[in-house]
Structures are given as structure tokens and as C-alpha cells.
Structure 1
Amino acid sequence: MADAASGNLDALFAPRSIALVGASDDAARIGGRPLRYLRASGYQGRVYPVNPKRETVQGQRAWPSIGALPEVPDLALLAVPAAATRAAVEDCVAKGVKAAIIFAAGFAEMGEEGRDEQARIVAVARAGGLRLLGPNCLGAADSSIGYYGTFSVMLDDGFLEPGPVAIVSQSGAYGSHIAQLARNRGLGIRHWITTGNECDVDMAEALRWVIDREGVKVVMAYAEGVRNRALFFEALDLARRRGIAVVLLKVGRSEVGAHAVGSHTAALAGADNVFDAICRQYGVHRARSTAEQLDIAYAIARAGLPRGNRLGIFSMSGGLGIQMADDGDEAGLAVTPMPDDAQAELKALLPYASPANPIDATAQAMTDLPLMTRYIQVVLEQGDYDIFVAILGTTPALPSYSARLAEALDAAGPGGEGLIRAVTMSAPPEVVRAYEARGFLVFEDSVALTRALGAVARFAESFAAARAERPPLPALPVPLAATGTLSERAAKQVLAEAGMSFPDERLAATPEDAAAAADAIGYPVVVKICSPDIAHKTEVGGVVVNLGDAAAVRDASGLVLDRARAAMPDAVIEGVLVAPMIAGGVEVIAGVSIDATLGPVVMFGLGGVLVEVLRDVTFRAVPFDADEARRMIAETTAGKVLQGVRGAAPADVDALAESLAALSRFAAANDGRLAGVDINPLKVMPAGEGVVPLDALVLLQA
């Protein structure tokens, strides 16, 4: 039904005419509230109450059925019980209605019988090209046109004010809750959508639609899961390219699909870790609380984005300034000192002040507000800050002082273009609104402020990176033709065809063949059992290292063959792999895991035998380029090690990034076929010497 999409989504989220099926004369009932809201909000479209038992509803003419309406409405609001919903959907299809919202509960969330009935309703709608929102949802709204297709009680004390915020929530209750909190914070909300059971339109499609609307700066989204990962990724990518901040609260824990036996990657890929990493990949901020989500939306809606992350702190208390400096640093903001000349000028104005950053003007500034204005002017004009914060404490709460303090701050000027000005203070709501009217962000808690500003600065950085010209991704490799379980030799062959490089290795069927292979490769060598049925070779004694001559290779080959046959007599033995011993380099791990919700993801982190203990890993959705791979590497402790520690030379991060990008293309080309990939250890050699994968495991789905 997604192909029916765009026009019918407009009918769903910004309709020009509405039929209310199950319209009630009681304005407090589910069938009554939408009509009351639409009549009071100034909605300019036509509204048709449908109720076969009444001639009028709330003083407006009622119609006996959808079929009897004088026109085909864009949207039908179905305020009928679950048992009557399918018939109402059939009537919509017969009339040619484009979209419908199902308020009723009692479907898939109730068990098998409810799921079956929901599926029957979807089949009817799909056959008729009818888009559905819900069931079990609170509907949708567009405040700019007075459209309120909802029965939410949040509107009982007033309608939403249009503004730069959009809300998309799988939960109707959460959608109403966050909208009410945002409204209390003075934020304007244009689009508000709840998706409920998502029998058709889901959170990803709704998110994609609001991101395409003009005037949206920030989207607050709530998700318990993702049904359409391709559209979800598309929506997030579009938001990043358009400079629209997505602040997402994701709850719940889901199991990672395709837990491949013996795969390190699958063991490390907790669903929450994967979701976190993909949010970083697409420049989404994943909020950990409703308060954090609201703080970030507030900052962006009111102040927009800064030029960078440099934070200037003005305080009249050294302790509070130092605390904010610590909080700002932790949030990723740069608390850079004032230039020396500016510090000298500030020192001349207030000899006892501390002019570096935090800039402590001491309590003396409070006794001379013009002096404080000049002091702040110097900070704004010469500090070259992207964000300026004044710590005011409880002083603005003093009626005799609040307005004069605000005027003194404002008189210092707005600073350069793109400067965000904020204050921390404890004051009554009317004082807070007065400071906001002057262009200041107002927070009571300094930690909440710095975290919000850190997130906003990261959005600015992410959007700038998205605007940079980047070459298109290379074509995906040809999908795998192989079936069944792959041996190490076969795994390396398919990965080599996808663009990864491997050392010169030879498969030998007998000890004599192994000795000949070692002579050709050069010593020292390692001998490994090669079998599609033996994933962990060391557990069966199937690896012997550092072999220096042909005799040692013959003996070792016979030994590992005997051990493997004894330990796993039913295993298919292809022979032994003879490979060169590789010295030096940094051991890392790379792999592919299949997330039940988000599909194939590439994993990277520190390698070796302790990989599952250290869990220094990150993930990316596939495919991605080498630039994204570098960002991925930089998120890990492995990335720091690769830069060179304790005198070690920097490793070949560029070659590693190209290998991870190639692995991502392989995973994308084989979406639906792979159960997992492990490349462990993967040795990253010194800069310019490339990477050397020593072991590889490719697991296919049954």
C-alpha cells in the first residue's frame, strides 16, 4: 500500500474534507470530541457527521451513511466499535474515500482473533486503495489548518499553536503527553500523528511524511519498534539532508534475529546497541527520557542551530561556572578560553574577576548593571563563541531586579549570526517567558542545558557533513550463489570477490600437499583444519602455528586432521589451510549481524580472544562508504589504539575503512541470505601496509 502513498497520506494528515462515522451528540464521547474540536478550531474543510439514528449531531446535519454523502471525503474518522469497523471500512472503499483513521481498540493487540480481524480489514482497504491509520490510535492533527482528527482530551483546554515542531508517536498516550508538555514549554506544534497498531501506515511512513513538510525544524518521535526499516532509514537520511532534527525516544528490548551458532558478532549485537549506533549513523539523537527529548526540541525550536560547539560561560559564582564547564565538556562542548587581549580588557573592567572561561564577573557585576552589560559585550564580540550561557541563579525571581537584569543582558547585543544565547535561572513562569521573548533559552538545571546544547551542536555538525558532496556508493557485488554452510576457505573466497583482500593461503588435502604449499608460501606458516562443520578450530585442536620447515608442516597437518576426525567424526573435512604467519599489527574484529528489526548491520571493534568480554564494538546499517566507516572506527577504543599508543606507529585506518565499506556492500547484496559474518582476528598493519584478515566465518540462513 506504500505505493498508493503520497496523495492519500495528504488526505490522512492534511484532509480537505472529513466524514465522522459514529458521530455522537455527546461532545465528551469518542464520537463527539472530533466534531467538537473541528467546529471550534476554525477548520475550513467540510465535515460530515455520519449517524443513521440521528438527523442532527451537535446541531449539524447528520448523514445516514458514507454512501449518502454529497461528495467523496478525503478522510473518514471511524469512531465505531471494533465489531463495526470492517463494515465501515467497506463503506469507505465503496465510496472511494482515500484514507481512514480507526480509533477502536480490540484488534491485533488482543490476540489471535483480533489479529485475524485486523488482517481482514487491511485486505479490504488494500483492495480499495484506502490508507489506514491505527487501529487503537488517537489519530492525527495539523494545527495550521485547524485539523484535529482525534478524541484526545489534551485539547479540552485549548488547541495546539502552529510552530516548527512535529510529533510522531506509536503510542497515542505518549503522543498526547509529550504534546501537552511541549505546549506548556511554549512550543508550537504543527503536525501531530499517532500510529497505534500500524496495520497500514506506520511510524516510519508518518515520519517520512512530516519531514517533507515546510517549516518543520524538529521531530519528536516515540517508537517501540520499527516495521519498515528501509523507509525508516530513508526518512532519517532525508531529515539529515534537509537539516531537520529527529529526537527519538525508543523503548523496549527486542531479540536480535538469526543468532548464528558460534558467531562472535551475533553474541555482541544487542538490539539496543545496534539501534544506538544507527541513530549515530543517521544523525539522530536518541533521548533517554521525555525531559531530555523535550529539552532538545525546545532548544532547536526556539534558537535553531549554532555555528559550532564553542561554549562561553558567564557567571557571578566561580563554583557554578566550574560546574557548568565540567558539564559542558562532558556534553561535547568546547569550553575555550577568551583571547588574551579580551581577558586583559575584562580584567581592566573588573580587577577581581576571572576572565578566562568560565568568565566569573563576581557579585560586583550585579551592583553595576551597565558595567555587566559592557563585560558581556566584550565576551560576545571577542570570544568567538557559538553558544553563550549566563548563570543567573535565583536573582531573576526578584521582582525589583528581574526586568532590569534582562535589559542589561539584552543590551549586550545578540552576538554574531548563529550565536545561541541561554540562561540558567529559577524564576516564575512569567519571568521565564519574558526572557524567552528576548531570545534567550531558559533552563533551570545546568546539566539539562549543557546536554541539550551538546545535542544541538552535534545536529549542526551532522547536517554540515550531510551537505558535503560525496561520491555515490560503488555498485553492490553479485549476490552469493553458494548454499549451505561455508568453510573458512569458501568464506574467504566469497568475501574476496566482494572486495576484501586476504593473504596467500593454500588448501591441502594431505600432509605432503601441505608441505608443498608451505614451501611455495614461505616460512613460518600456520596450519588450520578446514571444514564447514568446525567453526571454532582451536576447540578441537585444529590449529598449529609458527611452523618453520616442511617436516613440521607434515607432522602438524596429520595431527590436526586426526584431531578433527576424532572430535567430530561426522564433519566434512576439506583438508588443511596453510597460511603465512603474520606478525605485528593491531587485532580487531569485523562482522555482520542480522538484527530482527533493522536488518543486516556491520560490527567493528577490538578483536582477539577477549572480544566478547571487552565488548568494545559499534555497528552501522548497510551499505555505507569509507567516510562513514572512519566515523564508525572513531567511536571505539579500537579507533584510539589504531592511532598509535605507547610509541607504536599509526595503523592503516584508511585500508580498514575500505574493508568495512566492502563488507557492508557484501551484506547489503546478500540481505535475506546471510545469517552472520565473523572476521576475527583482522590485523590492521602500519599505515600504508593494509589489513590482513586471518580468519573468516560466513553463515547462511537455512
Structure 2
Amino acid sequence: MTDTFSALVSPKSVALVGASEDVARIGGRPLRYLREAGFGGSIMPVNPKRETVQGLTCHPDIASLPEVPDTAILAVPARATLDTVHACLDKGVKSAVIFSAGFAETGADGQRVQEEIANVAREGGLRLLGPNCLGVMNPAKGYYGTFSVVLDNALLNPGVVGIVSQSGAYGAHIAHLARARNMGISQWITTGNECDVDVSEALDWMVQQPETRVVMAYAEGVRDYERFIDALEKAQSLGKAIVFMKTGRSSAGAVAAASHTAALAGSDSVFDAVLRQYGAHRAASTAEQIDVAYACATGNYPTGNKVGIFTLSGGFGIQLADDAESAGLDVAPMPDDAQIRLKEMLPYSAPRNPVDATAQAVNDLDLLTRYVRAMMAEGGYDLFAGILGTAPTSKTFAEPLKRAFLAAMEGQEDKLRALTITAPADVVRTYEDDGFLVFEDGKSLAGALSALCRFAEGFARFKSRKEIAPAARLDLGKGPLSEARAKEILSRAGLDFPPEILVPVGGDVAGAAATLGYPVVLKVCSADIAHKTEVDGVAVNIRTPEDAVRAAEKIERRVREERPDARLDGILVAPMVGDGVEIIAGVTHDPVLGPVVLFGLGGVFVEVLKDVTFRAAPFDIDEAHRMIRDIRGFPMLEGVRGAPPCDVDALARMLSDLSRFAAAHADRIESIDLNPVRVMPQGQGVMPLDALIILKEEDSR
């Protein structure tokens, strides 16, 4: 990452072009904020109409500045932006923020102007943030290069939470919510139209900052998917959490008519799966994003997902237990002998888990301390979740209750502890200061704890991850490709296919069938016919030479009638495979995240239920196993109703090999379909029965 990017976010000097005396204006707010924050560097207002601005000496233009600033804030109209960028380049400025709107978001004319500004800046080595953005903040440095009204009443406290947002308004909103939740901000970057700096680069830079523990990100999409994935990997390697809000649901379907895989792969579902693949958390709501970031800000991650729930009310405990199980936490019961001892301590308690001490416990807080201490010592829990309700608001009861819980937790400092409390912010702060995570709602608590567990798993997974060997580049030739040619290419990439024979038009189909052994399948083989069923080009369960000849003649006749323009290579003769579980696998080039692999059960599961999952290519065999277990129908592969378990290891190898091939040929392949694939019983491998490779348009001419 270049020094110019650091200068953009952490400058030692700043020029404010378009500086205003009016602190309510776009050109006045940043100056007001910088002065109130005590920014320690040089602040150089630029405005040809004034000699001073807000008490500081004002300069008529950029050329007259007494020094070259690290960064420039451009609070000028859109029509003046290009000239101002030229002036920055002439002065030697290396980074700038463009506040103005009126560019690509307005249409073709605005897009052309934005591209011209970007090209001029790029040629001169000037890094740009924006246009149409709210700027950047670095509270620890006292740097507020923004006009956001979120700072009107109070500046942000420095802290460990970073924010990267394409939307300035959303970035400001979650900064406000974070401040209300007692979270300090490390850096805050809004990227706007992204004529230069995009959300991927900002995220990549931010996760590498030592003071940042967790990043909240917002995007409708990403432009540089390689850098985006690299940023996710960096975060995992450093043990830093990314909590992502992704909006915008669109189809990748430019080739959906030709590729079944592409038709199933909406950009949104792919984005969701890729975030999981690289250990990031996708929030379903802003509230969830704040809750999870709040939990991650401590930097304390559990070693397991076993949660002990303590309550003074059975009903609330049951609700939290339901929420915890729904979130994937293990609400394991207390050991039987421990339950007996807890029952002896409090005869009216329900000590299973949730552990309900009943209101009786509050009559003797020393007893409550012993009870909770025994629960945590003997339950083997990784997480403690307590339900206190409004009790901490009591003037006479609040402080003794907190002391009782702190005493109970002595010796359990390695256990993550969380509470549900309904109380004023100052009361909540006292519990947070003593190491408790505090939530008002049990469902929020359960969701945040579950996210912490998944982050911990992801961090551990990264440490044990093996290097993925790149696949060799193969000569794919020109498209379109027939099934036989697609299988020949994929065989060289490591995939195994059943033995097949391509019989030229008018050739000895019966002889080929006899060589393979009946029953067989006959299929039209033509690079011009992607979907054989559209021309009735498949005949199955052929059992005699006579049937084979008749079926071949029928297929050839049908093709000549329906597709006289199609080049016909012949008839592909293949063995009839009916065993195993049918799945679908494939590759699509997602417009946001590049080459991704799809996997799901075949038949009704894919056609109706769309029970599929995705991974960004390439990935290793361990990740392929996790991918396989992502789908709801995975138990089908384990064997149901007496069926033997399937060869999941062979399936994982195939998916990993397919991903490596896709990554190596990302510049040429639009999509791949392997449908159907038969996953045979354990030890017998996988059998892809059909293959379709669609090359990118420029390679298909």
C-alpha cells in the first residue's frame, strides 16, 4: 500500500479548497471539525474571496500555499473540480478528497467528466477519494476531512472499529450508532463514486492498521474482486473481523440462457457465500452489524460454542436458549452430578441449562455467587450468557448484584461473558468496564455470540490452510466447444469421466455400444447445441444394437430438422449410470467476484429448491468439504433410508480441481456446467455425465 494512501487518511497537513466562514456549509464544516479536534498539522484554507477563514490565514489558490499539503479537501462545485485537480497536480499534491456530486451518478455526461478527472489524476500520480463522498475521518489524529452532520454535536472517540462505506450517509449513520454503543472509531472512509480509491483498496488498507480490530463495511458491489478477496484473507490472517452490509440484488445472468450454472448464480447469493468462505460476517440488518461489531471490538474470541445460560426467570431463559440454538450455539445441559449439587444449593432452581436460579437467589447474593461459580466451573462452557433484565437499575440492588457476578467470574477470565440488561447507558457502561458484553435483546446477544464463534473458527482455519497449487494453463482452442471437447479439456485438468465413444455421423453406433456394454446413452455431439433436450438429442437406456441404430438415426434426423445450421460431430455413446446421488457442479464468472464454483444436489433440489452454494476459485479440498456441507440436502450424501454413504472425498477433490482450473482460465471461461454428476458409493468416485464449457464472447467467434 502506498504512502499516498496513508496521507489521504492520516495526513500531517491539509488544504481545504473552497473553505467557508459559514460552519454549516460544506466548505465550512471540515475546518470547524479540524479546529475543534485540535488537528496537530498544518491547515491551509483556500478561497480567493477571503483573507481569513474561521480565524486562519486564507490563500487565494493552491499555487500560493506555503507548503505542499499531504492531502487536499476539494469542496468546490462539480464544474470547477477538473481545474482544481490540475492545480493540485501542479503543486505536487499526492492525494485529494472530492466532495462534489454531479458526476457518474447523473448520467453519461457526468461519467465522461469523472473519467477525465480520474485519467488526469492517474497520469499525475494523484490519489482521489470520491467524487460524491463524505470524505474521511481519523479520530486518533484529530483529522476530520468530512462535512458530515454526524459530528455536529460531538466528535468521534478514537477506538478499534474501522468503517468503510461506499455510501457516505450509511457510513455516517453507523458511525453515529457505534458512538452511541460506546465504540470508538479507528478510521472512517467513504468512497462514493470510486473514480480511483474503491472499497476494496480502502478495506485492504484498513485491516492492516494495528489499531483496527474490526471493520464495518458497506457496499453495493466491488470493482476489484482480487484485491477484495486479498483484503478478506489479510483480515483472517491478522485475526480481524469484517462485518459486511451488502445491498443490491442482481442476476449474473448475461449467459443464463446458455448456462444452467449462471442462471442459478445471482450476484447476491455468490457474494454471501464468498464472505462466508473468507470468514467475514454478512449482516442482515444495520442493528445486527452494530451488535456483531460491538462484540468483536473486545478482540476476545471464544475457544468453542458451548454456552451456559443463567437466568432468574425461566421464561426469559427458555427464549434465550431457543435463540442460541437457532444461532448455532451449543446449549449443552449441565452434567448430571453438577445438577444435583446445584439443586442442593437452591432446591427450587432448575439447573439443567438454561440454569434458572429463580428469584430466590437474589435474597442471598453470596449464594448466587457460589451458584454461578459452580455452574461455570462444572458446566464446561465457553460462553456465559446471563439475563438480568431491569435489575441493574435498582438503586439498592444494582451494585451488590454486580459485585456478586464479578466474584462468580473470578478464575473464569478466559470465558466470554455477556448479559441482557435493560438500563440507562451509564449503568450499561459500568458492566462493560468490568468485561461484560451487554445487549438489550436476547436474540441479538445470541446472534453476536454465534458470529464470534464463526470468526474464531475462521481465524483458526486460516492458520491451518495449505497453499493451493495453481492449475496448469491449457490450450482451450476456439469456441464454441462440444461436450466431447469440454470433457477432453476437463480430463486434462484432473476430472474423471466415464469412458465414452464419439461415433461420426453414419458410423457404427451399435459397435461402440457393444464395446462399452449395454445399456448405453446416446447423445448428439455438437458445439452449436448447448442444450441437447431442445432438439430431442438424447436417448437413454438403450439395450440392443437395433435400438442403438434407430435412436442414432432419430437424433440425427431431428437435429437436421431443428438445427440445420448446426455442425454435427456425431453421436456420443456413453454407459448408462444410474447409481449414486445426483448433483450439479459448475463455474460461472460472477460480474462482481470473478470465477466462482457452484455445487448443489441435482434434480428437484436444484430446479425447485435451488439448494446450491458457491465458493470463489480457487479453493482447497478442506474448503470443498465445507462447501459440500453448506447445502441443506447434505444428509442425502451421507446415506438415507439404507442407502450407502457417498464418496464425498472424491467429490471434494473434483470441486477443488474444478476451482483451480477455473482460476487458471478466468480470462477465457464464462461458465462451466457439469450436470448431472453421479456421486457414487464410498470409494467409487464421482462420474460427471455431461459437460459444457462456454468461453467468453471474444473467444467464441
Give the TM-score band, short-chain normalised: over 0.9
How many corresponding residue pairs?
697
* 1:542 corresponding residue in structure 2: 537
Q: CA deviation at 1:241?
A: 1.2
* 1:421 corresponding residue in structure 2: 417
- Name the amino acid aligned to 1:528: K
Q: CA deviation at 1:417?
A: 4.3
* 1:325 corresponding residue in structure 2: 321
Structure 1, residues 207-257: CA drift from partner, whole Å, max 9, x if none?
Answer: 001001002111001111111111111101111111111000011122315
* 1:584 corresponding residue in structure 2: 579
d(CA) in 2 for partners of 1:148, 1:541:
67
Are the counterparts in 2 of residues 679 and 695 from structure 1 also a CA contact under 8 Å? yes
d(CA) in 2 for partners of 1:186, 1:251:
26
* 2:76 corresponding residue in structure 1: 80
Are the counterparts in 1 of residues 261 and 587 from structure 2 also a CA contact under 8 Å? yes
Q: CA deviation at 1:180?
A: 0.6
Q: CA deviation at 1:8?
A: 0.7
Q: 2:229 aligns with which of 233, 239, 264?
A: 233
* 1:147 corresponding residue in structure 2: 143
**Alignment partner of 1:304: what SS?**
coil
d(CA) in 1 for partners of 2:252, 2:90:
42
Are the counterparts in 2 of residues 55 and 63 from structure 1 also a CA contact under 8 Å? yes
Are the counterparts in 2 of residues 260 and 676 from structure 1 also a CA contact under 8 Å? no
Q: CA deviation at 1:293?
A: 0.2
2:538 is aligned with 1:509: no
Structure 1 residue runs without a partner (length 5+) = none
Q: 1:663 aligns with which of 658, 662, 665?
A: 658
Over 3 Å counting, the alpha-carbon distance change for 1:579 and 1:116 in structure 2 is same
* 1:376 corresponding residue in structure 2: 372
Are the counterparts in 2 of residues 256 and 595 from structure 1 also a CA contact under 8 Å? yes
d(CA) in 1 for partners of 2:587, 2:381:
42
**Alignment partner of 2:303: what SS?**
coil
d(CA) in 1 for partners of 2:47, 2:540:
82
**Alignment partner of 1:450: what SS?**
helix
Over 3 Å counting, the alpha-carbon distance change for 1:438 and 1:609 in structure 2 is closer
2:107 is aligned with 1:114: no
Structure 1, residues 103-136: CA drift from partner, whole Å, max 9, x if none?
Answer: 1111111111111111111111111100000111
Q: CA deviation at 1:551?
A: 3.1
Which one is further off, 321-330 or 261-270? 261-270
Are the counterparts in 2 of residues 512 and 554 from structure 1 also a CA contact under 8 Å? no
Structure 1, residues 399-433: CA drift from partner, whole Å, max 9, x if none?
Answer: 22112211111111245343111111212222212
Are the counterparts in 2 of residues 328 and 451 from structure 1 also a CA contact under 8 Å? yes
* 1:194 corresponding residue in structure 2: 190
Are the counterparts in 2 of residues 508 and 576 from structure 1 also a CA contact under 8 Å? yes
Over 3 Å counting, the alpha-carbon distance change for 1:414 and 1:49 in structure 2 is farther
d(CA) in 2 for partners of 1:411, 1:90:
65
2:482 is aligned with 1:487: yes
Q: CA deviation at 1:502?
A: 0.6
Q: 1:179 aligns with which of 165, 175, 178?
A: 175
2:611 is aligned with 1:623: no
Which one is further off, 515-524 or 646-655? 515-524
* 1:531 corresponding residue in structure 2: 526
d(CA) in 2 for partners of 1:531, 1:411:
76
Over 3 Å counting, the alpha-carbon distance change for 1:536 and 1:257 in structure 2 is closer
* 1:312 corresponding residue in structure 2: 308
Are the counterparts in 2 of residues 303 and 420 from structure 1 also a CA contact under 8 Å? no
d(CA) in 2 for partners of 1:47, 1:678:
59
- Name the amino acid aligned to 2:653: E
Are the counterparts in 2 of residues 160 and 190 from structure 1 also a CA contact under 8 Å? no
d(CA) in 1 for partners of 2:492, 2:562:
32
2:356 is aligned with 1:360: yes
Over 3 Å counting, the alpha-carbon distance change for 1:215 and 1:119 in structure 2 is same
Are the counterparts in 2 of residues 257 and 594 from structure 1 also a CA contact under 8 Å? no
d(CA) in 1 for partners of 2:103, 2:514:
70
Over 3 Å counting, the alpha-carbon distance change for 1:446 and 1:610 in structure 2 is closer
* 1:556 corresponding residue in structure 2: 551
Are the counterparts in 2 of residues 19 and 50 from structure 1 also a CA contact under 8 Å? yes
Are the counterparts in 2 of residues 529 and 575 from structure 1 also a CA contact under 8 Å? yes
Q: 2:266 aligns with which of 262, 265, 270?
A: 270
Structure 1, residues 361-417: CA drift from partner, whole Å, max 9, x if none?
Answer: 111101111110110111122222111011112222222211221111111124534
Structure 1, residues 431-453: CA drift from partner, whole Å, max 9, x if none?
Answer: 21222122111111111110111
Q: 1:685 aligns with which of 680, 689, 693?
A: 680
Q: CA deviation at 1:701?
A: 2.1
Which one is further off, 671-680 or 167-176? 671-680
- Name the amino acid aligned to 1:121: I
Q: CA deviation at 1:628?
A: 1.0
* 1:574 corresponding residue in structure 2: 569
Q: CA deviation at 1:13?
A: 0.7
Are the counterparts in 1 of residues 466 and 620 from structure 2 also a CA contact under 8 Å? no
* 1:128 corresponding residue in structure 2: 124
Q: CA deviation at 1:303?
A: 6.1
Q: How does 1:246-261 map to 2 (within 5 A)?
A: 246-261=242-257
Q: CA deviation at 1:670?
A: 2.0
* 2:297 corresponding residue in structure 1: 301
d(CA) in 2 for partners of 1:258, 1:663:
22
Let me know the Cα RMSD of the aligned residues: 1.5
- Name the amino acid aligned to 2:140: S
Are the counterparts in 2 of residues 391 and 423 from structure 1 also a CA contact under 8 Å? yes
Q: CA deviation at 1:341?
A: 3.0
Over 3 Å counting, the alpha-carbon distance change for 1:246 and 1:629 in structure 2 is same
d(CA) in 1 for partners of 2:493, 2:198:
35
Are the counterparts in 2 of residues 366 and 372 from structure 1 also a CA contact under 8 Å? yes
Q: 2:599 aligns with which of 601, 604, 610?
A: 604
- Name the amino acid aligned to 1:670: H
**Alignment partner of 1:545: what SS?**
strand
Q: CA deviation at 1:637?
A: 2.8
TM-score by length of 1: 0.97
d(CA) in 2 for partners of 1:649, 1:628:
24
d(CA) in 2 for partners of 1:193, 1:414:
40
Q: CA deviation at 1:479?
A: 4.2
d(CA) in 1 for partners of 2:430, 2:505:
85
Are the counterparts in 2 of residues 305 and 418 from structure 1 also a CA contact under 8 Å? no
Structure 1, residues 469-502: CA drift from partner, whole Å, max 9, x if none?
Answer: x332122231443212111111111111111111
Structure 2 residue runs without a partner (length 5+) = none
d(CA) in 2 for partners of 1:41, 1:233:
35
Which one is further off, 425-434 or 685-694? 425-434
**Alignment partner of 1:325: what SS?**
helix
Q: 1:42 aligns with which of 38, 45, 49?
A: 38
d(CA) in 2 for partners of 1:636, 1:55:
67
**Alignment partner of 1:164: what SS?**
strand
Are the counterparts in 2 of residues 257 and 596 from structure 1 also a CA contact under 8 Å? no
2:1 is aligned with 1:19: no
**Alignment partner of 1:378: what SS?**
helix
**Alignment partner of 2:613: what SS?**
strand
2:589 is aligned with 1:594: yes
Structure 1, residues 547-601: CA drift from partner, whole Å, max 9, x if none?
Answer: 2333332232222222222222222111101111123111000011222211221
Are the counterparts in 2 of residues 264 and 612 from structure 1 also a CA contact under 8 Å? no
Q: 1:346 aligns with which of 325, 342, 347?
A: 342
d(CA) in 1 for partners of 2:459, 2:192:
31
* 1:169 corresponding residue in structure 2: 165
- Name the amino acid aligned to 1:698: I
TM-score by length of 2: 0.97
d(CA) in 1 for partners of 2:88, 2:71:
9
d(CA) in 1 for partners of 2:271, 2:156:
31
- Name the amino acid aligned to 2:419: V
